């Protein structure tokens, strides 16, 4: 899963150079917002601090999507920089970069099937309804902690897809470095007596960003039990400037179905293939025109959260159907 992976012949549409710089824009704006938040907290101006916390959380959510891009090797052209940023964002969000990368591969290779580690437990027809509802509640309200545990489970469970001794050693090293980093950081915060700054400048935006990440993930897949990419994925194609700005700051992740159809395609080029999101079968979903409309569709499914065609026993060839729709017909 890297940027050299072959994809279909690209269309004539070319993204604007600014679109290719979305992550740089998100990063710079995030740091500027954090500086502003630091001043607001220092002067105890909470009327300014609260909206800045919300702004920081949105851009922190964008950085988490950058973590996803790094797992595909598409965040930076330089591989070392790509790995460094992935490790840094992973450490700050309590997630091993290597665990995420391997688990995310199963999400693409086995979308919505019981081998999709990222969407556990919703892909398990044997999982009781109450456990799936509880998992959804925890992830949507405390995603900063619950989501890393989902990936940790993928690493520690019996039958883990992560079998290579070399990769498992690297993961243990990443976890060890994470423990050292957070031990040093929290000890320093305590000794310096700056808990107020830490809680308001980092913890509050991080908690909100983790929940935003979870809600976006659920919007993309939870409640969908189709056996094709378009019937197993919600995409958002906004028609107004505000929606396009949100998409830009989320590294065009709202075009999620295109990403599943062409996972080697850089984020800036996803909007150029929006036409591929149009349904080709009766069971498939057209793209939503806003996150609000997609959210309403998700909420109706949260009473019995599930993902994947295995919930319908008649779909015996579900996984093969998903594989056939990895690339749209030319």
Condensed to tens digits (0 to 9), the pLDDT of residues 133-166 reads 999 999 999 999 999 999 999 999 999 999 999 9
What tokens does 236 get? 């958002």
Residue with tokens 């405390």: 142
Residues 6+ apart with CB under 8 A from 153: 120
**Coil, strand, or helix at residue 285?**
coil
Neighbours of 137 (CB within 10 A): 13
Neighbours of 321 (CB within 10 A): 18
pLDDT tops 90 at residue 16? no
For the chain, what is the radius of gyration of the CA atoms? 20
What tokens does 71 get? 């797992």
Tens digit of each residue's pLDDT (9 = 90 or more) over 307-321: 999 998 765 454 444
Note whether 117 and 188 are within 8 A (CB). no
pTM for this prediction: 0.90
Q: Give dist(CA 294, CA 61) in Å, integer.
A: 18
The number of CA neighbours under 13 Å toward the Cβ of 225 is 16
Q: Give dist(CA 243, CA 229) in Å, integer.
A: 23
């Amino acid at each position: 899963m890297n940027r050299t992976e072959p994809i279909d012949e690209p269309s004539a549409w070319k993204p604007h150079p600014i679109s290719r710089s979305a992550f740089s824009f998100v990063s710079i704006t995030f740091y500027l917002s954090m500086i502003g938040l630091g001043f607001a907290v220092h002067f105890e101006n909470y009327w300014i601090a609260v909206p800045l916390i919300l702004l920081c959380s949105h851009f922190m959510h964008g950085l988490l999507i950058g973590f996803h891009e790094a797992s595909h090797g598409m965040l930076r052209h330089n591989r070392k920089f790509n790995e460094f940023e992935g490790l840094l964002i992973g450490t700050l969000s309590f997630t091993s970069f290597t665990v995420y990368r391997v688990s995310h591969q199963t999400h693409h290779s086995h979308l919505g099937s019981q081998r999709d580690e990222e969407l556990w437990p919703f892909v398990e027809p044997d999982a009781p309804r109450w456990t799936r509802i509880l998992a959804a509640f925890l992830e949507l309200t405390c995603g900063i902690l619950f989501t890393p545990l989902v990936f940790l489970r993928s690493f520690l469970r019996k039958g883990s897809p992560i079998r290579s001794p070399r990769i498992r050693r690297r993961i243990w090293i990443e976890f060890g470095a994470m423990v050292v980093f957070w031990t040093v950081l929290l000890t320093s915060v305590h000794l310096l007596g700056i808990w107020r700054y830490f809680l308001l400048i980092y913890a509050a935006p991080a908690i909100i960003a983790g929940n935003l990440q979870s809600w976006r993930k659920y919007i993309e897949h939870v409640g969908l039990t189709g056996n094709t990419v378009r019937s197993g994925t919600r995409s958002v194609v906004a028609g107004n400037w505000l929606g396009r700005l949100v998409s830009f700051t989320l590294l065009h992740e709202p075009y999620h179905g295109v990403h599943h159809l062409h996972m080697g395609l850089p984020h800036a080029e996803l909007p150029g293939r929006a036409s591929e999101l149009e349904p080709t079968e009766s069971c498939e979903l057209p793209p939503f025109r806003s996150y609000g409309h997609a959210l309403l569709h998700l909420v109706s499914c949260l009473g019995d959260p599930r993902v994947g065609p295995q919930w319908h026993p008649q779909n015996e060839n579900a996984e093969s159907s998903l594989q056939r729709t990895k690339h749209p017909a030319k």
